[in-house]
Chains A and B, each alone.
Chain A
Amino acid sequence: MDPRQAPGVYAGAANVIAAVMLLIEFGMLRQALARDQVRLYAAQSALISVLAVVIAADRNLPDLYALAALSAGLKVVAVPLVLRRLLARTGGDEEEPLGAGEEPLGVAGSHTLSPASAVLAGIVLAAFGFFSFGALGLRGPDPTPAPDTALAIAGAMVLVAFGLMIVRRDVASQAIGFFSLENAISLAALVVAAGLPLILATAFLFDLLVAVVVFAMLIRAHHSRAESLSTADLTRLRG
Chain B
Amino acid sequence: MVSAALPVPLIQLLQVLTVALGAPGITGVIAKVEARLQGRRGPRIAQPYYDLAKLFRKEALAPAGASWFFLAAPLIAVTAYLTIPLLIPVLTSYGLPLGYMGDILGGGFLLSLASFVIATAALETGSPYAQLGSSRAKTFSAITEPVVLFVVFTVALLTGTDLPYALAATVRLSAGQIIRPAHLLAAAALFMVILSETGRIPVETHTGTLEFGMIEHARSFEHSGPYFALLTWGSELKQLILYTILANVFLAPWGLASSRDLGAVALAVAALLAKAAAIGCVVAVLDNSFAKLRLFKITEFAAGAFLLAVLGVFTLYLGGG
Chain A interfacial positions (CB closer than 8 Å to B): 1-4, 6-9, 11-13, 15-16, 18-19, 22-23, 26, 30, 115-116, 119-120, 122-123, 126-127, 130-131, 134, 147-150, 152-153
Contact = CB atoms under 8 A, between A and B. Distances in A.
B318 A9 contact: no
Given A13-B179, A150-B320, 16 more contacts: A4-B160, A6-B174, A9-B179, A11-B320, A12-B179, A12-B180, A12-B181, A15-B180, A16-B181, A16-B184, A19-B181, A22-B311, A119-B307, A134-B317, A148-B318, A149-B315
Contacts of B315: 15, 19, 149, 153
A219 B303 CA distance: 32
**Most chain B Cβ neighbours within 10 Å, of A2, A9, A16:** A16
Interface of B: 157-160, 170, 173-177, 179-181, 184-185, 299-300, 303-304, 307-308, 310-311, 314-321
A109 B19 CA distance: 47
Per DSSP, are chain A's interface residues mostly helix, strand or loop, or mixed?
helix
A22 B314 CA distance: 12
A23 B319 contact: no
A134 B176 contact: no
Most buried by A among B158, B170, B180, B308: B180
13 contacts: A1-B320, A3-B157, A3-B158, A15-B181, A15-B321, A16-B181, A23-B307, A119-B300, A119-B304, A130-B314, A134-B317, A147-B320, A149-B320
The 7 closest A-B pairs by CB, nearest first: A149-B320, A6-B176, A1-B319, A12-B179, A19-B181, A134-B318, A6-B177
A126 B314 contact: yes
Given A6-B173, A7-B176, A16-B179, A116 B318 contact: no
Contacts of A149: 181, 315, 318-321
Nearest to B181: A19
A116 B181 contact: no
A47 to B, nearest CB: 13
A3 B176 contact: no
B319 A3 contact: yes
A89 B227 CA distance: 62
Contacts of B320: 1, 7, 11, 15, 147-150
Contacts of B185: 19
B253 to A, nearest CB: 15
Contacts of A9: 175-176, 179
A26 B307 CA distance: 9
A13 B303 CA distance: 25
Nearest to B178: A12
Contacts of B160: 4
Contact of B311 (A6, A30, A126): A126
Contacts of A4: 158-160, 170
A19 B174 CA distance: 21
A148 B319 contact: yes
Contacts of A130: 314, 317-318
A159 to B, nearest CB: 13
A182 B173 CA distance: 37
A72 to B, nearest CB: 23
> B157, B159, B310, B317: which has the most chain A beta carbons within 10 Å?
B317
A131 B316 CA distance: 11
A87 B157 CA distance: 46
A12 B314 contact: no
B180 A7 contact: yes
Contact of B300 (A7, A30, A150): A30
